[in-house]
Chain A
Amino acid sequence: MATTSKQYKAIGEDLWKGRTEKINAELFALTYGALVVQLIQDYEDYAEVNKQLEKMGYNIGTRLIEDFLARSSLGRCSDFREVGEVVAKVGFKSFLNITPAVTHSGVPPPSRTSSTSQQSGGAGSSFVLTLDENPLAEFVELPDEALEGGLWFSNVLCGVLRGSLEMVQMQVQAEFLSDVLRGDESTEIRVTLLKYLEEEVPVGED
């Protein structure tokens, strides 16, 4: 039986409440901000900084998924649509205490004549997370050079999504569509499924 959206919200809420080690939000935001500023000073190229933030996020994500699965004890998601729901309502909630809104868009596989409902299991389906608040970017104002250089301040989140989903056999691409720090209306991340990863036999085993 598919878990409903409300149940996911409840799970997320419980996980957040049950987590005893919480951190001061200001300290968190200031630490992340200092990290980004340092990266900018080191690399001096905003595209490179974006890449590095994403890489860092990837490393975090690969480890984070284990913690998440252990605490939430959720089973395998039936389709990509459910992945989006779980990520938004349980994942983001339990780690950052925010619940981004999810907008799904599935690409119907060409072989099936799809009805009005979307079949979001195939590769190419995606969902967009709309964050109404971003704890990483409290108090941040981007200087002009960063705006022109194309810096995505919270790009680490994209890396986390990519890393964690890769560990559950999904290869995805996560990228920012818009960011309030850049003057856009809202902060949006699009996660696109590239393909499901087959279980690979480790090299060297028969």
Chain B
Amino acid sequence: MSHHLFLLSPSDTPIYSLTHYSTRLVQTTTSTLSSNLPTWSTSAFAGTLTALSGASSATQSHHVQGGGVRMGGGQDRHVIQMIANASLDVIEDVMRKESAMYLKSVDKFNEWTVSAFITPGNMKFILLHENKNDDGIRSFFHDVWELYLKTMLNPFHTAHSPIRSTVFDARVRASAKKYL
């Protein structure tokens, strides 16, 4: 089960992205589609493709995903990014109505849920995930927010430019491991 994190500036330029493979053993909730997937096609792309083509595979008893299941390679990136981009519109709508920073799940796409977090400076943190994990995600977002603030205070960092610091990367990964 993996998570994809994207940090976007107010002008929607990508500042940072991370893919995290969670090693947590979680029961996959039986959503109508994921349980219909044959075991070999566990990649997000396949799941979406299957859904799009309307295929109905043999019913599969819901399986527990454990360990760091490696999702299929480069193909998935495109889908993930498409999902993330598509959710931006929804986020902007919700942004206008809600004043809270943590917008829970704003969008759902087959098995992927998109959660968003808007900072006071209008930075968008977007997380794609498959499982419901509100508290963990909220804590994770707050952690990322603090790390982001520290990066902003670095005089060598230009605002809204991609974050390349290895320290930031390492800390975000550690936080992801802790909460997700």
Whether chain B is bound by chain A comes out as yes
Cα separation A37 to B155 with both chains bound (whole Å): 7
The answer on a CB contact under 8 Å between A37 and B153 is no
Cα separation A146 to B165 with both chains bound (whole Å): 13
Number of interface residues of A (CB under 8 A): 14
Cα separation A30 to B150 with both chains bound (whole Å): 12
Give the total number of A-B pairs whose CB atoms are below 8 A apart: 28
B154 at the interface (CB under 8 A from A): yes
Residues of A within 8 A of B156 (CB): 33, 37, 140-143, 146
Leading 8 A-B pairs by shortest Cβ distance: A33-B155, A139-B153, A37-B155, A141-B154, A143-B156, A139-B154, A141-B165, A34-B155
Most chain-A Cβ atoms within 10 A of its Cβ — which of B154, B155, B167? B155
Instruction: List residues of chain B with CB under 8 Å of any chain A CB.
Output: 150-151, 153-157, 165, 167
A36 at the interface (CB under 8 A from B): yes
Residue of A nearest to B165 (CB): A141
Cα separation A29 to B165 with both chains bound (whole Å): 19
Given contacts A37-B156, A140-B156, A141-B156, 4 further A-B contacts (CB under 8 A): A33-B154, A37-B155, A141-B154, A141-B167
Residues of B within 8 A of A139 (CB): 150, 153-155
Residues of B within 8 A of A146 (CB): 156
Cα separation A34 to B151 with both chains bound (whole Å): 14
Instruction: List residues of chain A with CB under 8 Å of any chain B CB.
Output: 26, 29-30, 33-34, 36-37, 138-143, 146
Cα separation A36 to B155 with both chains bound (whole Å): 8
Residues of A within 8 A of B165 (CB): 141
Cα separation A21 to B150 with both chains bound (whole Å): 27
Residues of A within 8 A of B155 (CB): 30, 33-34, 36-37, 139-140
Residues of A within 8 A of B154 (CB): 33, 139-141
Cα separation A142 to B156 with both chains bound (whole Å): 7
Residues of A within 8 A of B151 (CB): 141
Residues of B within 8 A of A26 (CB): 153
Residue of B nearest to A36 (CB): B155
List 17 contacting pairs A-B, 8 Å CB cutoff, sorted by A.
Answer: A26-B153, A29-B153, A33-B155, A34-B155, A36-B155, A37-B155, A138-B153, A139-B150, A139-B153, A139-B155, A140-B154, A140-B155, A141-B154, A141-B156, A141-B157, A142-B156, A146-B156
CB proximity of B163 to chain A, nearest CB, Å = 10
Residues of B within 8 A of A143 (CB): 156
Cα separation A34 to B158 with both chains bound (whole Å): 11
Most chain-A Cβ atoms within 10 A of its Cβ — which of B151, B154, B156, B167? B156
CB proximity of B47 to chain A, nearest CB, Å = 39
Cα separation A146 to B157 with both chains bound (whole Å): 13
CB proximity of B167 to chain A, nearest CB, Å = 6
Residues of A within 8 A of B167 (CB): 141
CB proximity of A163 to chain B, nearest CB, Å = 24
Most chain-B Cβ atoms within 10 A of its Cβ — which of A26, A29, A141? A141
Residues of B within 8 A of A30 (CB): 153, 155
CB proximity of A38 to chain B, nearest CB, Å = 9
